[in-house]
A and B are shown apart, each in its own frame.
Chain A
């Protein structure tokens, strides 16, 4: 009993200590962001642009030096000298699914079992997570809540970084199913002598055959309607065969990437996305030929091999983009660092993608296309949702990323967060003296 009490009390203490600001109120008045540098997110930049949005939707994005708009009954916000960006998108994220890594009670990212296509991440998505305000304050306004574990981990959903509950916060429900591809090389950790052995997985072929059977069953099942009793697992995979859902396959090694994509196509999956892709540079021709996009794992990682170019991870987006592959950047499992996502795009720009607007696409329009939300987000274009922010400087560089205003579906978001509150508390303490 005593044991049980401690975590409960701790949790209570936490929630009472820090309160996230209340979610924003719906947009009531048309808003115009005037005279800012508008980074459209599709490679274009409008130096003196106007972004107009009504009821949460962008109604116009124009060059302010050419087009004059009637701005009566419009809330005009002067952002001259500042930068306007579409909200950054963090795919393959566990934000909202885990709070404090070492405290098991706060971690809901991974279910037990091997095949869990029916498990849905949005159910566990905690809109009250104190991580969320910290990421939107660096411009990350959308995340893809991703389940982990097993071979088929479950289905993800696209979440907005603001909302009273998961129903409020979801932008796209169950956008895709997550598959951990049986890897060519496996790692065995030996708890007896604490060594890790990396070796070719001899059981891989049989694991793939087992998967093939599951997908064959799912496809056959998808041809039926109103099946009773319903098979939850197979039911949840329907969208893969109709093209409604992506199949996100985690694979890094070149051979795994090729095998995984070939597998997915052979079992009738319509849309495949490679996630991780640490060695996608080995499979560029294949990926291009098959028109498969890639969500790269965090660029701020070390090369996988001693002899690899020291900057290979940093250059990877440029290598893929140049080959004509659609690339997005993720912060993978580093949920609490997700606010650094913009800087991954900045790094890509320092290492290969010299045009910063092209680098920007890695966290905006490219990702939106990959996730199937490009009709809603990813660029500052007419008809898209007004999920965007204003930064006083280049948002891809930590030196200048100072976010001043954030709008999610046109709602103006309070920029307070736990860190700012603690900062203020102690700044005040020292200034009292």
Chain B
């Protein structure tokens, strides 16, 4: 294994091995040739910066021996005169699966029993999705038809790898020739490959995006440990391989623009700068993508236009989809303009045949031809460190090149030949006899005929015979210089004259037969070029293009439609053209709910500057040039804080194992979820994005501000304490998951306690091991072996050290009591019980323990464990001294949390100010953020909502929602926003209609169901029926 790998690393030199030597027995006589070819009089594009006119390319034994304008052709060379033609370096695709086995995805279905362990037998990693041991060169089997498809496009070599698993093993550089694999594999183990998709693995873990992230991270740490100690304990071929592939250029396949940021974050943790295979939507977040410093591998897969002929059906196409249709072809150009290095790939194309058409669209939309050529030659070669072999036509490089009729990027260009390591593949015969021209045709006695042969290239001639004013299209077959024609002289009369003959220079001669069987002689004399017809126009432009300077570096930056094609932050219809910014604002004369001892102030002013509340009082002086909001008759409050939310997430449950403390919701924050904006419209400014409740120990929370348009990182509250989701009850024991799910421990509440005890005891041991190690002095550390880093136990150890805090999904009193006892016995506190619908039964115990309660106002009856839920729960807990908040767990209800808080007034008679605190100050306390959120106090964040009425009234709605002084929602601006959206929509729909009329195939519009997450939803599942949730 190791030997093979080393061979790979140092093959570079071995690539020079003479082709003549072979280990294979021969059936026949020795027939090795010099492979010496000279291509003369060509326009040679040596590399994207260098073009030589009238130059010669000399190759020998599959390598370039010389290139230049004064190369002398040695004796024994086969000479090809390429006058008027061009030679380009062959193209390179570094995200290919060419020759790899098909990835068969094991779909087990929801009702199949879970596969908890790996099905890959052998001394491998515990998880089937981690396969660093896979080696593309071992898996590679050439597929001539697929090679031919890529050759025709101009590709010479590809980097291929198995697209299977989160760690996928190594890629191999292979040529697209038809030959034994021994000569096709140029270099094994060129790159290491990663992704977020578990591929063929049917193992339950991971079943979420954040699980994939955690699995990669843990595998990396395990490999570290294996290197320093683990290899003495066990043989693990996967970890061994992971260590070996680590120095290689690493390619991470991301699933969208956010995936680029996510992948890069993993890379940062391990000091790896991934090259990231992206999906074509990077233009939507170009600043953040650039900030990663990653080079990209960019596809050219553009969406089809939608069929928008039916106005109602067209409503199902979102503005974001319409815009993406328009802007996807601008992606590459915008990346180039932003100086983000990228290679282009054919991956992601529905049909490889779309490649050139789509690339030309990219060029029409702002990508320069030079950048395009770089992205297909020098950049990919450099990224995977094979630029000493391929990518340019410099001396010593492999003889991988293509011969074209003209500018490679021109629509009229024809690729004639694709040479691979000095071996010729004919794509289009360049040596077709050129019959094109205007000919005087004489058939027997008839001499008034004019034969016009036109067409954009010699191999695609078009024929027309003109007899006086009559135009006849003959049927013609060419073979070399032989020609045969069938002519129906009179359209009205049946009867075909058949002619056969040959061409010599500018004359044709032959014999034929008239319809009545008479043998006649015929001849034709070329009189000049064919007259300009429609098709001849394009032929002319080809000629013009090829006579101008070879590489068009002059492609202008003006993009068609670029003035109207604007980015939105986020890229959603309701996004903003500019991200909102903090302003200096005075809110005057409002009823201000301070949540402080001052209570509710009437006719008060609040001054906001630098994102903070800087003054609260009456008749404050108003500085000049600031924004003033009139609060007369209105109520000003803090922004609502939702302690339990699952919006703005790409997935919610890593429900595969009883503990997944290692997963982080911060890895899956989705800033494009429209529910962010909808909740701003309901006055929410901060949400705790929780893992689901599918397991006893869930994942780590992400606490975000609803800064619509920011990046995932930009939404996270910096410096906030870390939280983690725990869960109890029916979901954890899979009570409502059907009969197939009776395997995972625990299946009872008894087992749940043991899961906690077991994990915490291990975490305690783990923490002790580390503290012992960390206590060693520097010298001792050099000889001691560091323990294995376990990111699951890290999180649990943080809980034990009071550095991470629990929010526990809970309903029934027995188990709530249990968790408090577990915590007491280990010396930590349960920070918050969420849902906590039976909290009222043990509110005294909760208060004593110090746990808060974050509850629904009035939910019950959807499952057995909520049968005793009562709407008086909040009131009873509150009166026992529990810090109570009201949460949503629901994207819709979060828009009305003010109303849910008001229910505590109805049920249990909570004072209105206290009721209001249940959705503001109290959740801030539960999240340890009350030092900066939750009340209107000088120095706190200016997260404010201006309501049109008493905020607890059902008739109230926010008019302004502000986060840190930036206005993220303004009721007044809604109409303007709507008009802009409509105008943009109308423009794009008209454009789409034109595209359809122009013959583009279209996609049928269908409504999208955006994923609404609740506690119980597994990746991708929208569990039908309310009773299955929460």
Chain A residues with a Cβ under 8 A of chain B: 10, 14, 99-103, 131, 185, 187, 189, 191-196, 198-200, 254-255, 282, 300-307, 309-311, 333-337, 339-340, 343, 346-347, 349-351, 396-402, 418-420, 422-423, 426-427, 430, 433
Contact present for A185 and B1007 (CB under 8 Å): yes
The contact sample of 28 A-B pairs, CB cut-off 8 A, is A10-B864, A100-B1027, A101-B1025, A102-B1027, A192-B107, A194-B1019, A194-B1020, A196-B1022, A198-B1009, A199-B1006, A302-B1012, A305-B316, A305-B1007, A306-B1010, A307-B318, A307-B573, A349-B954, A350-B955, A397-B954, A398-B905, A399-B953, A420-B872, A422-B840, A422-B870, A423-B907, A426-B843, A430-B879, A433-B844
Contact present for A343 and B954 (CB under 8 Å): yes
Segment with Cβ contacts to A, from B86-94, B396-404, B462-470, B855-863: B855-863
Q: How far is the CB of A172 from chain B (nearest CB, A)?
A: 26
Which residues of B in the span 877-898 have a Cβ within 8 Å of any Cβ on A? 879-880, 891-893, 895-896
Complex Cα gap A427–B880 (Å)? 10
Output the nearest chain B residue to A350 by Cβ-Cβ distance: B955
Contact present for A398 and B1009 (CB under 8 Å): no
Chain A residues near B1025 (CB-CB < 8 A): 101, 333
Which residues of B in the span 762-812 have a Cβ within 8 Å of any Cβ on A? none
Contact present for B1006 and A185 (CB under 8 Å): yes
Query: With contacts A103-B864, A426-B841 known, what are 16 further pairs, Cβ within 8 A?
Result: A100-B862, A102-B862, A194-B1019, A198-B1006, A300-B896, A302-B891, A306-B1008, A311-B681, A333-B1025, A336-B861, A346-B954, A399-B905, A399-B906, A419-B872, A423-B876, A426-B843
Chain B residues near A309 (CB-CB < 8 A): 974, 978
Task: Give which listed residue, B895, B906, B1018, B1021, contacts A398 with CB less than 8 A.
Answer: B906
Which residues of B in the span 841-867 have a Cβ within 8 Å of any Cβ on A? 841, 843-844, 858-864, 867
Output the nearest chain A residue to B1006 by Cβ-Cβ distance: A198
> Does B674 have its Cβ within 8 Å of any Cβ on chain A?
yes
Contact present for A303 and B905 (CB under 8 Å): no
Task: Give which listed residue, B316, B871, B1008, B1026, contacts A333 with CB less than 8 A.
Answer: B1026
Known: A254-B312, A336-B861, A351-B957. A301 touches B892 (CB 8 A): yes
Contact present for B858 and A337 (CB under 8 Å): yes
Known: A198-B1009, A419-B870. A336 touches B954 (CB 8 A): no
Contact present for B319 and A196 (CB under 8 Å): no
> Does B677 have its Cβ within 8 Å of any Cβ on chain A?
yes
Contact present for A306 and B893 (CB under 8 Å): no
Contact present for B862 and A423 (CB under 8 Å): no
Contact present for A306 and B674 (CB under 8 Å): yes
Contact present for A191 and B876 (CB under 8 Å): no
Chain A residues near B572 (CB-CB < 8 A): 306
Contact with A along B954-987 (1 / 0, CB 8 A): 1111000000000000000010001001000100
Chain A residues near B360 (CB-CB < 8 A): none
Output the nearest chain A residue to B868 by Cβ-Cβ distance: A422
> Does B1004 have its Cβ within 8 Å of any Cβ on chain A?
yes
> Does B320 have its Cβ within 8 Å of any Cβ on chain A?
yes
Which residues of B in the span 659-692 have a Cβ within 8 Å of any Cβ on A? 674-675, 677-678, 681
Complex Cα gap A301–B863 (Å)? 21
> Does B908 have its Cβ within 8 Å of any Cβ on chain A?
yes
Q: How far is the CB of B808 from chain A (nearest CB, A)?
A: 20
Task: Give which listed residue, B675, B840, B952, B1028, contacts A399 with CB less than 8 A.
Answer: B952
Contact present for A194 and B110 (CB under 8 Å): yes
Contact present for A306 and B1026 (CB under 8 Å): no
Q: How far is the CB of A427 from chain B (nearest CB, A)?
A: 7
Complex Cα gap A303–B736 (Å)? 29
Known: A101-B863, A336-B862, A402-B906. A397 touches B953 (CB 8 A): yes
Q: How far is the CB of A16 from chain B (nearest CB, A)?
A: 14
Ordered nearest first, which 5 A-B pairs have the shortest CB separation?
A: A101-B1027, A102-B863, A336-B861, A194-B1020, A346-B954
Output the nearest chain A residue to B954 by Cβ-Cβ distance: A346
Chain A residues near B1027 (CB-CB < 8 A): 100-102
> Does B824 have its Cβ within 8 Å of any Cβ on chain A?
no
Complex Cα gap A301–B675 (Å)? 12
Task: Give which listed residue, A193, A351, A399, contacts B902 with CB less than 8 A.
Answer: A399
Complex Cα gap A193–B108 (Å)? 9
> Does B574 have its Cβ within 8 Å of any Cβ on chain A?
yes
> Does B700 have its Cβ within 8 Å of any Cβ on chain A?
no
Contact present for A100 and B906 (CB under 8 Å): no
Complex Cα gap A350–B315 (Å)? 27
> Does B30 have its Cβ within 8 Å of any Cβ on chain A?
no
> Does B638 have its Cβ within 8 Å of any Cβ on chain A?
no
Output the nearest chain B residue to A418 by Cβ-Cβ distance: B870
> Does B109 have its Cβ within 8 Å of any Cβ on chain A?
yes
Complex Cα gap A340–B859 (Å)? 11
Q: How far is the CB of B258 from chain A (nearest CB, A)?
A: 17
Complex Cα gap A10–B735 (Å)? 15
Complex Cα gap A190–B844 (Å)? 47
Contact present for B730 and A102 (CB under 8 Å): yes
Q: How far is the CB of B845 from chain A (nearest CB, A)?
A: 12
Chain B residues near A100 (CB-CB < 8 A): 861-864, 867, 1027
Q: How far is the CB of B410 from chain A (nearest CB, A)?
A: 39
Known: A100-B864, A100-B867. A350 touches B954 (CB 8 A): yes
Contact present for B953 and A307 (CB under 8 Å): no
Complex Cα gap A427–B843 (Å)? 11
Complex Cα gap A339–B730 (Å)? 26
Complex Cα gap A131–B110 (Å)? 32
> Does B903 have its Cβ within 8 Å of any Cβ on chain A?
yes
Contact with A along B368-410 (1 / 0, CB 8 A): 0000000000000000000000000000000000000000000
> Does B111 have its Cβ within 8 Å of any Cβ on chain A?
yes
Contact present for A131 and B861 (CB under 8 Å): yes
Contact present for B906 and A193 (CB under 8 Å): no
> Does B584 have its Cβ within 8 Å of any Cβ on chain A?
no
Contact present for A300 and B892 (CB under 8 Å): yes
Known: A337-B858, A350-B954. A198 touches B1007 (CB 8 A): yes
Q: How far is the CB of B1007 from chain A (nearest CB, A)?
A: 5
Task: Give which listed residue, A131, A304, A340, A433, contacts B1007 with CB less than 8 A.
Answer: A304
Which residues of B in the span 98-115 have a Cβ within 8 Å of any Cβ on A? 107, 109-111
> Does B899 have its Cβ within 8 Å of any Cβ on chain A?
yes
Known: A14-B867, A397-B955. A193 touches B1004 (CB 8 A): no
Complex Cα gap A36–B1004 (Å)? 58
Q: How far is the CB of A197 from chain B (nearest CB, A)?
A: 8
Task: Give which listed residue, A192, A254, A346, A399, contacts B109 with CB less than 8 A.
Answer: A192
Complex Cα gap A300–B981 (Å)? 25
Contact present for A347 and B954 (CB under 8 Å): yes
Contact present for B843 and A191 (CB under 8 Å): no
Which residues of B in the span 555-588 have a Cβ within 8 Å of any Cβ on A? 572-574
Chain B residues near A300 (CB-CB < 8 A): 892-893, 896
Output the nearest chain A residue to B900 by Cβ-Cβ distance: A398
Q: How far is the CB of B945 from chain A (nearest CB, A)?
A: 15
Q: How far is the CB of B890 from chain A (nearest CB, A)?
A: 10
Chain B residues near A195 (CB-CB < 8 A): 1020
Output the nearest chain A residue to B1009 by Cβ-Cβ distance: A196
Known: A191-B110, A419-B870, A423-B876. A310 touches B906 (CB 8 A): no
Chain B residues near A199 (CB-CB < 8 A): 1004, 1006
Complex Cα gap A400–B870 (Å)? 19
Output the nearest chain A residue to B867 by Cβ-Cβ distance: A100
Chain A residues near B110 (CB-CB < 8 A): 191, 194
Contact present for B860 and A336 (CB under 8 Å): yes
Task: With a 10 A CB-CB cut-off, give which of A301, A339, A423, A433 has the most chain B CB atoms.
Answer: A423
Chain A residues near B315 (CB-CB < 8 A): 305
Task: Give which listed residue, A14, A302, A305, A337, contacts B318 with CB less than 8 A.
Answer: A305
Task: With a 10 A CB-CB cut-off, give which of B319, B861, B896, B908 has the most chain A CB atoms.
Answer: B861
Task: Give which listed residue, B674, B735, B843, B1004, contacts A430 with CB less than 8 A.
Answer: B843
Contact present for B956 and A350 (CB under 8 Å): yes
Chain B residues near A194 (CB-CB < 8 A): 110, 1018-1021
Known: A305-B316, A396-B954. A401 touches B906 (CB 8 A): yes
Contact present for A255 and B903 (CB under 8 Å): no
